[in-house]
Amino acid sequence: MKTTDVPRYTPDWLELRESADAAARSPELVEELRPRLSGPPLVIHDLGCGTGSMGRWLAPRLSGPQLWILHDRDPELLDRAALRMPRAATDGSRITIATARGDLARLTASTLDGASLVTASALLDVLTAEEVDGIAAACAAAQCPALLALSVVGRVEITPADPLDAEIAEAFNAHQRRGSLVGPDAMAVAAETFARYGATVRTHASPWTLGAEQAALTTEWLRGWVAAAVEHRPELAGRAEAYLRRRLAIAATGALRVVVHHRDLLALPASRTMGAAA
């Protein structure tokens, strides 16, 4: 599979999930990353930037002048991201924006020449192991750290429980692995791959915790989660339809609680680990 086959995400979905993403990402990994960044200016490549939510979350947490290079294959998303990026860092320093449309399969060390950081959000699990290897190899060759947030790990907790929860989750996870995608194995694959290229790897939990205040996101997530499960196992359709009706009815009362587990990954190249233990 090529990156060009990765599903396209609508701006509405990306906007809907932004606040949950921001609440979930790991500030602890940012603190560990901060002293390892080269600059000024910081030159940050945001891969698969979507509407730019990672930049809006991270840029204000960093000080000093920054150049953000936003990468995506969708020109509409690139335009949205560029327009909505912050223009000042936490200390008031200028943030400059550039865009690069294209396929992540073309990412090389020369693309990252002079880079301080590669970052991405909700990207690794829709890549193949070969594509993850390409990112890790490019970062290693450029001696560039990577902060890769919000990879699904294949675990969901829903309260109250339903007898069909586990079967839907299993079918969804299988769907995520379609066509050689790493899916819920993304964190294990990426950690092993970056380590193989000599990086020190840290990971941190970054779960979505959804309740009554996130009812709109919960509803859309449920619809997509069940639809993907049925796409992988069409024989689930009848039971899944009834399951979705039950879940949406509980969500409408504000009584449904969902935890969608993710992890964030920080990879520090050997020359910038400053002697940190692996």
Tens-of-pLDDT digits for all 278 residues of the chain? 333 344 457 889 999 999 999 999 999 999 999 999 987 899 999 999 999 999 999 999 999 999 999 999 999 999 999 999 999 998 999 999 999 998 776 788 999 999 999 999 999 999 999 999 999 999 999 999 999 999 999 999 999 999 999 999 999 999 999 999 999 999 999 999 999 999 999 999 999 999 999 999 999 999 999 999 999 999 999 999 999 999 999 999 999 999 999 999 999 998 654 433 32
Cα→Cα distances 2→8, 79, 132, 237, 255, Å: 13, 23, 12, 29, 41
Looking at residue 224, its pLDDT comes to 96
Quote the CA–CA distance of 38 and 56 in Å, as a whole number: 20
Quote the CA–CA distance of 234 and 80 in Å, as a whole number: 36
Quote the CA–CA distance of 156 and 165 in Å, as a whole number: 9
Contacts of residue 99, defined as CB under 8 A and 6 or more positions apart, other chains included, come to 69, 70, 71, 72, 78, 79, 81, 82
DSSP 8-state symbol, 89:
-
Quote the CA–CA distance of 132 and 34 in Å, as a whole number: 23
Quote the CA–CA distance of 18 and 217 in Å, as a whole number: 10
List b or e across 149-175, with b for residues whose CB sees 16 or more CB atoms inside 10 angstroms: bbbbbbebebeeeeebbebbbebbbbb
Please check whether residue 115 is in contact with residue 43, taking contact to mean a CB–CB distance below 8 angstroms: yes
Q: If we measure between CA atoms, which residue out of 94, 72, 91 comes closest to residue 82?
A: 72
What is the distance of C-alpha 213 from the center of its chain?
22
Structure tokens at 163: 């007898």
Q: What is the pTM of this model?
A: 0.92
What is the distance of C-alpha 227 from the center of its chain?
21
Looking at residue 2, its pLDDT comes to 39
What is the number of other CB atoms lying within 10 angstroms of the CB of residue 24?
A: 20
Task: For residue 76, give the amino acid letter.
Answer: E
Q: Is the peptide bond before 75 cis (omega within 30 degrees of 0)?
A: no
Helices 237-253 and 215-232 cross at an angle (nearest 10°) of 170
Looking at residue 133, its pLDDT comes to 96
